[in-house]
């Protein structure tokens, strides 16, 4: 009987040691998918809130930062821009981009940031996904909005990138240009946003 107890004790000890060893190795294993990846952080930002999130992401994962700019910028007037975007969405128009990324094929992971415009993915970002061949690449969307949510933005990314690996997106409330509230990612808001970004990156195994 004593021999059986000793064997049982040995088995329990071995199991506990193996479990602890696995728990200690888990964080390292989570880092492996992103450790040797070439990362691009591309974003569209009208009021700098999406830019602020893009820069937070870069702080954690490094990578190259690229702002999406148009050959013909949208009007500075908010109402005029809203009207123009609505027409572009209705017509399926893809505005030409000034931004050029000649060596996009070298990137494995693309963080893809945009504000919510008309509850959709903004036309310039549709242009980007239509212009570049992203087959086989990992796309990670992130979004800022005026409190109404991402709309169909994340679904639009998946629809326009059917051959890419789309990870869970991140969305956060930013400014409200309609009400004259523009940049808000500063002070306590910036700190909270940074904490949320870090938590999200860990959840998708990018940290």
How do residues 144-176 score in pLDDT, each as one tens digit? Answer: 999 999 999 999 999 999 999 999 999 999 999
Closest CA to 75 of 88, 59, 62: 88
Widest distance between CA atoms in the chain? 86
Domain holding 152, by residue range, is 36-203
In a domain, 133, yes or no: yes
Is position 7 within any domain?
Answer: no
122 or 21, higher pLDDT: 122
The reply to whether 17 falls in a domain is: no
Dump pLDDT digits (tens) for 133-151.
Answer: 899 999 999 999 999 999 9
3-state SS, 139-152, equals: EEEEEEECCCCCCC
Give the chain's domain count. 1
Question: Residue 154's Cα: distance from chain center in Å?
Answer: 10
- Measure the CA–CA gap between 156 and 186, rounded to whole angstroms: 29
| Per-residue model confidence as pLDDT tens digits over 21-47 | 333 333 333 334 466 899 999 999 999
Q: Would you say how long the chain is, in residues?
A: 207
List the CATH number of the domain containing 171.
Answer: 3.40.50.360
Distance CA 20, CA 23 (A): 5
């Amino acid at each position: 009987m004593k021999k059986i107890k000793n064997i049982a004790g040995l088995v329990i000890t071995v199991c506990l040691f193996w479990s602890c060893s696995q728990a200690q190795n888990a964080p390292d294993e989570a880092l492996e998918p992103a450790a040797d990846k070439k990362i691009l952080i591309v974003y569209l930002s009208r009021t700098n809130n999406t830019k602020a999130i893009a820069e937070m992401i870069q702080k954690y994962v490094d990578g190259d930062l690229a702002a999406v700019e148009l050959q013909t910028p949208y009007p500075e007037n908010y109402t005029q821009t809203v009207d123009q975007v609505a027409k572009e969405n209705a017509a399926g128009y893809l505005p030409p981009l000034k931004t050029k990324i000649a060596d996009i094929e070298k990137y494995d992971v693309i963080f893809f940031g945009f504000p919510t415009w008309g509850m959709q993915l903004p036309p310039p970002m549709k242009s980007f996904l239509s212009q570049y061949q992203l087959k086989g690449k990992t796309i990670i969307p992130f979004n800022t909005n005026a409190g109404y949510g991402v709309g169909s933005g994340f679904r639009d990314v998946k629809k326009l990138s059917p051959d890419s690996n789309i990870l869970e997106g991140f969305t956060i409330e930013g400014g409200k240009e309609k009400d004259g509230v523009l940049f808000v990612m500063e002070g306590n808001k910036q700190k909270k946003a940074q904490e949320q970004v870090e938590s999200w990156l860990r959840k998708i195994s990018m940290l």
